[in-house]
Amino acid sequence: MNIGITIGLQSENESMWINGIKLNAILLANALMQIDGHNVYIIDTSNKVEDLTKVQWDYKKFPVKRLSDVFKTTDIMITLGTSFPASIIEKFKAQDPNKRVVKYMCGNSYVIEMERAIFKTGNDLGEAPWDPGADEIWYVPQQGYQNEHYYKTIFRTDKVYPVPFVWDPMFLIQEIARYKKANRKLPIYNPSRPQAEKRICTFEPNMNVVKYAMIPILAVEQIYRRGVEFNKMYIASGKTLLKNSYFMSQIKYLDVVKNNPSAPKLQFTSRYPVAHYLSETTDIVLAHQWENPLNYSYLDVMFMGYPLVHNADMIKDAGYYYPDFNIESAADQLEYALKHHDENREEMAAKNREVLKRYTIQNKGMIELYDKMIDNLYDGEHEMSYEYDWKTNLYK
């Protein structure tokens, strides 16, 4: 089968770290390439890049093609970074009864579309991508709680399934090589820094309610009130928050702010790639999410050896886990990591490595599951529970 995965490139040599869409497409392609008998490639639907070889990945390993060049020859179209109107899906499938279209949903559609409807105005948002016509809807498992039944309704199909989450350290390894070549400080954990000099960082993008820095900030406030030593907290992608007067009115009452007017303990920065933060401003990563319990950045952090304090219940067997919005528990885990991670780091690293494997192509069960799902697009012979098991990244 010729399998194409769609994205929309915006410029030549576009950074891999702008968002998770390109990473998701490449890593999914990498997984599907492990299945015998398929020709897998990336499809650019934007027509904004003239030379498609100028991408920041191995073009020969992960080729990218124009939609117009492969529209006829593609057998399975996986729409990941592009949403097609129903008319395009109908035209594609009308070419041959064996053509298949899979919508691969990797964002929290319900929350994003809710926020657009409630908080945005004007006509610059386009139309909601509620086009029916796909044969199946596949969604990354962390989005199921809010989106499974949402997708069934808006896409008018019961063929809505969670799929294994795919991750790989290949691009982090490239970053390490690039840092070495440039003689820059490597984004690899350094256990020699004294506790009082350790820097806490949160990477949440602060773009919507799913991933917002307030809970990490309040956990740091808790340990500050306890007298726990640390250097600073860096809030990545946080400079926009400083322009919000309501947010500023919230944090000005915190001890960690008002007790340090001349040497602020909280530092708000612009958005940078994860490797930059790990190299420049991080000793401990403190994370919080709302119904989005798998994130590339969390896995990246653990791969690089950094302690991760988090509430992601799909990786509760890794890092330093606290539940839900429990700020006191988050502070407890953060304090423990500050005081004891270095003495336990080898044990923690071994535990984290086992967790990371279940999202990579080392998990042969994951490859077999994707193989069966592709087969089921045609003959439906494989009986599966479609019930996701976070402990294995497979079905139960």
pLDDT at 22: 87
How buried is residue 346: exposed, middle or buried, by Cβ count under 10 Å (0-12/13-18/19+)?
exposed
- 306 within 8 A of 225, measured Cβ to Cβ: no
pTM value?
A: 0.94
pLDDT at 84: 83
In which residue ranges of the chain is pLDDT below 70?
122-125
Q: What is the pLDDT of residues 218-274, one digit of tens each?
A: 999 999 999 999 999 999 999 999 999 999 999 999 999 999 888 899 999 998 889
What is the C-alpha to C-alpha distance for residues 113 and 98, in angstroms, rounded to an integer? 32
pLDDT at 53: 87
